[in-house]
Chains A and B, each alone.
Chain A
């Protein structure tokens, strides 16, 4: 009698792999050394399928699916790399770069940015879509941290880590479409937040220079995320 999750077999890029039925394509691909680019995903946080970089093709499904939120199925045939996927991923990156003001040369996270890394990986030297140059503010009211909306890609990693790991739920989203932006508390300055514990988890999960520590200059902000798998393991340990 099987009580736990069942085991499924599938192929990823023609490689036969095994997986528990509650695992995602992304988890299994990584386990097997197959790289799928991601941006909003972060191991340890609930995946949302928002950025659309981890799109993969599944035989029999017309539209590509997001690997981070798609569970494996028996006999699935997954392709993680194709000219079409590369084109889509490039365009998604272009859209992100065009949306706000990502000026790497003056950014604290220059050289340590997930978005910049992906641009380099995809050889993105220029954009085919026009820059939007929106006017965005910087919130430097917090004693230790800075929020620069110009660098935000709305991945909501900060929202999720604050809610799911720190348990403070200081962050949330406000507005919709391209007007959407992250806010602290009920859209008050971060520095006046009643809920923020100052733990800095949001800063370190942020993929770009949108959230940074004060006192860091250009190229000086480096994010360390080791705490996430650690905290996650501790939690699992407690649950067993």
Chain B
């Protein structure tokens, strides 16, 4: 049986080995940096340390994502020094610098005091870039699993649900449903068994928040699931991860094994009647399998298609039993909430959107990567301060949030706070956290076309409006972008948007017109230019010459 004292002991031992070293070198080994061969950087650093007789003095550690993915591979030394674009050869200089008394290598140095780092508030990502995702001891040294054991010791399931309700946490998978409310519903539901599912299907194009989190801090998600299981009365859980995330899967499986070994998962955890085990299930990479009922069908071994709700999974989920299903980031928020209290979490963010949100910042900004900001931060601050603004002297045009279900927010609305309500009001949505910045080289009908093509190919085909409607909408957008569309086509596009939005069975179809509707709302003139003048302002679309003459 594992106790809080055991955790303290493990943490103390970790601390001891750590303080034995004079210098701590962290190398990012999450997917983005790994793809730039950060594993070789780590190897080279380790080799240099050995060759220079610094073993024990300089500790080299692989850690999770540090956020500034565009400048990878990233290496930090101590608290203040950040090295960017590090190559294996640079390992020689870095270690030599350390041998000569912590001399920083200025040619590699990035600004760790830049707004990109200082403006962020890390709750979910607090351990990312700091701990070794492959060692449970490192997570425990960062207060890991303390929340779980303390909860088992001192709180009833009802207490946990109340605490989460008090925190104001809302689902990070897109819908923003109050998490505490969901938990109490599952707790109230009766069933011979209950299940907990973590939704790590993350299918939005360009989004990699959940992936980074799982690769950088897998234990935090497992701890959140275990607390959730205790709160709703479940004893088994599934982590549904897309198969395109092999590193996340590998680290999760390793993490589950480690947690089992320590008795943090298994039967009678911490000597209580509470038992919990977790299995990983792989998704074959269909976007629609992120929809909760399709995901459940997929785990059951069926075709991954949504079914009508109600009944919601909270009442009738996996194998017909009450099921709690939450997003990766939602679960990652649980341990800190229980450690610091719901009131602490509720003090972050806005009136209705509490806490922080992780975004995958991409597109036409200087700093692309993974960021975490308090809810309510104005878009402008995210894009201009953290993102460093639009590069190459171009001008900002719009920012796309919410992926294929979201919309484009234009420059005049940049001072809008980022929260669930404001984004929805602007015709977009929070979504899972993709944020794509576009400058004047983007053509908005072309952007709408891109997302519609995505929905068209990802539609499961179960219901008529989405299956066929997205095909027609995509064809009209193709016509618009090639200068062959008429005003009648534009009117038909609007009719189709209305039908598909209001009659589709699941969220995929219901939200698929959003990119069209939001670009039509803010960039109507671009559509009319394509349709009437047969011109693309951004010179993205290839307008057919002969049509141009007719137009």
Contacts and interface: CB of A to CB of B under 8 A. Distances in A.
Partners in one complex: yes
Interface of A: 48-52, 55, 63-64, 66, 69-71, 87-88, 91-92, 95-96, 98-99, 128-130, 132, 153-154, 172-173, 175-180
B505 A49 contact: yes
A64 B502 contact: yes
A48 B462 CA distance: 9
Contacts of A178: 456, 459, 461, 467-468, 471
Interface in B443-481: 456-465, 467-472, 475
15 contacts: A49-B308, A49-B463, A51-B463, A52-B505, A64-B502, A66-B505, A91-B499, A95-B465, A95-B467, A98-B472, A176-B286, A177-B457, A177-B459, A177-B460, A178-B471
B181 to A, nearest CB: 19
A132 B470 CA distance: 13
B347 interface: no
Interface of B: 286, 288, 303, 307-308, 310, 456-465, 467-472, 475, 492, 495-496, 499, 502-505, 510
A153 B461 CA distance: 11
B472 A130 contact: yes
Instruction: Tell me which of B310, B464, B471, B495 has the highest count of chain A C-beta atoms within 10 A of its own C-beta.
Output: B464
B303 A173 contact: yes
Nearest to A49: B308
A14 to B, nearest CB: 23
B468 to A, nearest CB: 4
Instruction: Tell me which of A69, A132, A178 has the highest count of chain B C-beta atoms within 10 A of its own C-beta.
Output: A178
Contact of B463 (A50, A70, A88, A179): A50
A72 to B, nearest CB: 12
Contacts of A49: 307-308, 463, 505
B503 A64 contact: yes
A92 B495 CA distance: 12
Contacts of B467: 95, 99, 154, 177-178, 180
Given A69-B308, A88-B502, A52 B464 contact: yes
Nearest to B505: A49
B471 A50 contact: no
Nearest to A89: B503
Nearest to A177: B459
Contact of A96 (B303, B308, B461, B468): B468
Given A50-B505, A96-B468, A179 B462 contact: no
A177 B456 contact: yes
A70 B505 CA distance: 12
Contacts of B468: 95-96, 98-99, 178
Nearest to B501: A63
B286 A88 contact: no
A176 B499 CA distance: 20
Contact of B458 (A69, A129, A177): A177
Contacts of A91: 465, 495-496, 499
Contacts of A52: 463-465, 503-505
Q: Which 4 A-B pairs have the closest CB atoms?
A: A180-B461, A95-B468, A177-B459, A49-B308
B464 A92 contact: yes
B333 to A, nearest CB: 29
B460 A51 contact: no
Contacts of B462: 48, 50
A192 B79 CA distance: 69
Given A52-B503, A64-B502, 5 more contacts: A49-B505, A51-B464, A52-B463, A92-B499, A99-B467
A197 B525 CA distance: 60
Nearest to A65: B308
B376 to A, nearest CB: 27
A153 B462 CA distance: 10
B307 A48 contact: yes
Given A92-B503, A130-B472, A179 B461 contact: yes
Contacts of A175: 461
Instruction: Tell me which of A64, A130, A172, A175 has the highest count of chain B C-beta atoms within 10 A of its own C-beta.
Output: A130
A36 to B, nearest CB: 14
A130 B475 contact: yes
Contact of B499 (A71, A88, A132): A88
B469 A95 contact: yes
A51 B461 CA distance: 10
B461 A177 contact: yes
Contacts of B307: 48-49
Nearest to A95: B468
A49 B307 CA distance: 8
Contact of A129 (B308, B470, B492): B492
Nearest to B309: A69
